[in-house]
Amino acid sequence: MAHTRGKAFVTATEDIYAGRKPEHSWGNSQYRIDSEGDWGSNQWIYAFENPTPDKTITGVEIVKKDGNVFMFGMTASDVPAHPLRYSRRQKALLELKGDPRNALDLIDIDLGHIMSVTPQPLYKNAVWEEAAAFGNDWYPGGRNGKYIVEFNAHDDAILYLGEDRTPLAVKDIAKNPDIFIPPAEIYVTLKVCGENGRPVPVKVHAHGTGGEYLPPRNRHRIPNPYWFEDYSTDYVHGDHLCTYIDGTASYLLPLGEVFFEVSKGFEIMPVRRRFVIEPDTKEITIHLKRIVDWRSKGWVTADTHVHFLSTQTALLEGEAEDVNVVNLLASQWGELFTNIGDFTGSGETINANGEYMVRVGTENRQHIMGHISLLGYDGDMILPLTTGGPDEAAQGDPVEITLTQWAEQCRKQSGLNILPHFPNPRAENAAAIVSELIDGVEVTPGWGGNFASINPYYLSDWYRYLNCGYHVAAVGGTDKMSAGQLLGEMRTYAKLDGLFTYQSWKDAVIAGKTFTTSGALIDMRVENQSMGGTINLSNGGNLTVMWDAASVTIPVTAIELVINGDTVDGAKFDGLLGEKSGYFTVNIKESSWIALRVRGKTDGGPEIITAHTSAVFVIVDGKPIFNAPDAVTILDQIEGATAYVKTLGTKAQESQFKLALAALSGAHRALHNKMHAAGHFHNHSPEDIHSGHEK
Ligand SMILES: [Zn+2]
Ligand SMILES: [Zn+2]
pLDDT digits (tens, 9 = 90+) for 150-206: 999 999 999 999 999 999 999 999 999 999 999 999 999 999 999 999 999 999 999
> 127-130: long-range contacts (C-beta < 8 A, 24 or more apart)?
128/259, 128/272, 128/273, 128/274, 129/272, 129/273, 129/274, 130/272
Query: Between 628-647 and 654-677, two packed helices, what is the crossing angle to 10 degrees?
Result: 170
Q: Where are the alpha helices (DSSP H) in 309-402?
A: 311-320
- Find the 30 Cα to ligand 2 centroid distance in Å: 25
Q: Which residues contact 443 (CB under 8 A, 6 or more apart)?
A: 422, 454, 458, 459, 462, 474, 475, 476, 516, 612
- Find the 308 Cα to ligand 2 centroid distance in Å: 10
Edge-first strand listing for the sheet containing 180-181 = 112-119, 146-153, 90-95, 180-181
- Find the 477 Cα to ligand 2 centroid distance in Å: 9
- Find the 60 Cα to ligand 2 centroid distance in Å: 69
Q: Record the pTM.
A: 0.94
- Find the 422 Cα to ligand 1 centroid distance in Å: 9
- Find the 373 Cα to ligand 2 centroid distance in Å: 8
- Find the 544 Cα to ligand 1 centroid distance in Å: 38
pLDDT greater than 50 at residue 692: no
- Find the 420 Cα to ligand 1 centroid distance in Å: 6
Judge whether 245 and 202 are in contact, CB under 8 Å.
yes
3-state DSSP assignment of residue 362:
strand
- What is residue 39's predicted lDDT score, i.e. its pLDDT? 61
- Find the 618 Cα to ligand 1 centroid distance in Å: 32
- Find the 31 Cα to ligand 1 centroid distance in Å: 31
User: Strand 256-263 and strand 271-277: pairing?
Assistant: antiparallel
- Find the 22 Cα to ligand 2 centroid distance in Å: 28
**Across 355-365, average pLDDT:** 98
pLDDT tens for each residue of 480-513: 999 999 999 999 999 999 999 999 999 999 999 9
- Sign of the four-CA dihedral 88, 89, 93, 95: positive
- What is residue 140's predicted lDDT score, i.e. its pLDDT? 75
**Across 89-106, average pLDDT:** 94
- Find the 305 Cα to ligand 1 centroid distance in Å: 9
Partners of 338 in beta bridges? 331
- Find the 158 Cα to ligand 2 centroid distance in Å: 49
Q: Which ligand is nearest to the CA of 304?
A: 2
pLDDT tens for each residue of 296-334: 999 999 999 999 999 999 999 999 999 999 999 999 999
- Find the 657 Cα to ligand 1 centroid distance in Å: 23
- Find the 53 Cα to ligand 2 centroid distance in Å: 69
Report the alpha-carbon distance of residue 675 to residue 665 in Å, rounded. 15
- Find the 421 Cα to ligand 1 centroid distance in Å: 6
pLDDT greater than 80 at residue 615: yes
Q: Which ligand is nearest to the CA of 308?
A: 2
Partners of 202 in beta bridges? 245
Q: Name the nearest CA neighbour of 428 among 509, 367, 363.
A: 367
Q: Which ligand is nearest to the CA of 424?
A: 1
**Across 598-609, average pLDDT:** 90
- Measured at the CA of 686, the angle between CA 682 and CA 688, to 5 degrees, comes to 75
**Across 576-586, average pLDDT:** 97
- The dihedrals phi and psi of 197, each to the nearest 5 degrees, come to 85, 0
Q: Which ligand is nearest to the CA of 361?
A: 2
pLDDT greater than 50 at residue 521: yes
Q: Where are the alpha helices (DSSP H) in 225-339?
A: 311-320
- Find the 440 Cα to ligand 2 centroid distance in Å: 15
- Find the 429 Cα to ligand 1 centroid distance in Å: 12
Q: Which ligand is nearest to the CA of 403?
A: 1
Res. 289 pLDDT band, cuts 50 70 90: very high
- What is residue 136's predicted lDDT score, i.e. its pLDDT? 58
**Across 27-46, average pLDDT:** 79
- Find the 100 Cα to ligand 2 centroid distance in Å: 33
- Find the 522 Cα to ligand 1 centroid distance in Å: 27
- Find the 364 Cα to ligand 1 centroid distance in Å: 8
pLDDT greater than 70 at residue 695: no
Res. 38 pLDDT band, cuts 50 70 90: low
- Find the 306 Cα to ligand 2 centroid distance in Å: 7
- Find the 144 Cα to ligand 1 centroid distance in Å: 37
- Find the 548 Cα to ligand 2 centroid distance in Å: 32
pLDDT greater than 80 at residue 411: yes
- Find the 363 Cα to ligand 1 centroid distance in Å: 7
- Find the 485 Cα to ligand 1 centroid distance in Å: 14
Across 395-472, the runs of DSSP E, i.e. the strands, are 416-419, 440-442
**Across 451-467, average pLDDT:** 93
pLDDT greater than 90 at residue 694: no
- What is residue 693's predicted lDDT score, i.e. its pLDDT? 46
Report the alpha-carbon distance of residue 178 to residue 174 in Å, rounded. 9
Q: Lowest mean pLDDT of 35-39, 129-133, 252-256, 575-579, name the range.
A: 35-39
pLDDT greater than 90 at residue 36: no
Q: Name the nearest CA neighbour of 245 among 223, 272, 217, 226.
A: 217
Residue 399: other Cβ atoms inside 10 A? 25
- Find the 370 Cα to ligand 1 centroid distance in Å: 8
Judge whether 562 and 539 are in contact, CB under 8 Å.
no
Judge whether 37 and 4 are in contact, CB under 8 Å.
yes
- Find the 225 Cα to ligand 2 centroid distance in Å: 17
Q: Which ligand is nearest to the CA of 477?
A: 2
The gap from C-alpha 649 to its chain's centroid, in whole angstroms, comes to 32
- H-helix or E-strand spanning residue 205: strand 202-208
- Find the 383 Cα to ligand 2 centroid distance in Å: 16
Rounded to the nearest integer, the mean pLDDT of the chain is 93
- What is residue 603's predicted lDDT score, i.e. its pLDDT? 79
Report the alpha-carbon distance of residue 616 to residue 533 in Å, rounded. 5
**Across 101-128, average pLDDT:** 92
- Find the 142 Cα to ligand 2 centroid distance in Å: 31
- Find the 372 Cα to ligand 2 centroid distance in Å: 9
Residue 278: other Cβ atoms inside 10 A? 10
Residue 412: other Cβ atoms inside 10 A? 12
- Find the 580 Cα to ligand 2 centroid distance in Å: 35
- Find the 447 Cα to ligand 1 centroid distance in Å: 11
pLDDT greater than 70 at residue 362: yes
Across 75-201, the runs of DSSP E, i.e. the strands, are 90-95, 107-109, 112-119, 146-153, 158-161, 166-169, 180-181, 184-193
Report the alpha-carbon distance of residue 375 to residue 413 in Å, rounded. 10
Res. 130 pLDDT band, cuts 50 70 90: confident
- Find the 329 Cα to ligand 1 centroid distance in Å: 10
- What is residue 691's predicted lDDT score, i.e. its pLDDT? 45
**Across 226-254, average pLDDT:** 94
**Across 236-249, average pLDDT:** 94
pLDDT greater than 70 at residue 234: yes
